Amino acid sequence: MKFIATDIEDCPAKLDLNVVSQLEKPGIAMASYFYRSHLTYERELDRLFFKSWLYAGHSSQIPSEGDFFLYEIGEDSIIISRDAQGDIHALMNICRHRGARVCAESSGHKKFYVCPYHGWAFNLDGTLRAARHMKRKAGFNPHDYGLKRMRLIQYEGLIFINCDPEAPDFLP
């Protein structure tokens, strides 16, 4: 079986009841409910994964300028991209125009990222390179429309990212 069926009757009250019940049984394996609860999954994402330093990959996966791979977390996709200076960036794979994914391949090599929806183009460091018809729009500043960046740190070649700007630093 590829997927575990979601508990379609899941609700906050049911989650709370299961938490209380589980806490009353120390040493007993976690109830099957938690494996099928979409609320548990959402809370794990919100409270744990989106606030923690996560291992995304190794720098050897993207040795050259333009190399990239995608890191998926929940419903989101993050581009791990090496730029012309050799720096590595973690960029939200969400176009700043209308929110389409700018990169569909799971890994590869690009000179820049072009959104398939209306053709906005982004540099390897996420800055906006070109946006059709936007030059005519009053007040449009390309610097405000780069791909959003996640925090990223390299440690002995290991790449860690963090979605939370307020999270403690990777190394104290």
Binding stretches for ligand FES (CB under 6 A): 95, 97-98, 100, 115, 117-120
Pairing of β 88-92 and β 76-82: antiparallel
Looking at beta carbons only, is 110 or 151 nearer to ligand FES? 110
The first and second tokens of residue 85, run together, are: 């200076």
Which of these, 76, 83, 78, lies nearest to 62 by C-alpha position? 83
Looking at beta carbons only, is 39 or 130 nearer to ligand FES? 130
Q: Name the minimum Å distance from CB 100 to ligand FES.
A: 4
Looking at beta carbons only, is 54 or 94 nearer to ligand FES? 94
Sort 59 into a burial class: Cβ within 10 Å, 0-12 / 13-18 / 19+.
Answer: middle
Length in residues, the chain: 172
Helices (H), the chain: 12-23, 33-36, 38-47
Q: Name the minimum Å distance from CB 99 to ligand FES.
A: 6
Looking at beta carbons only, is 74 or 119 nearer to ligand FES? 119
Q: Name the minimum Å distance from CB 111 to ligand FES.
A: 17
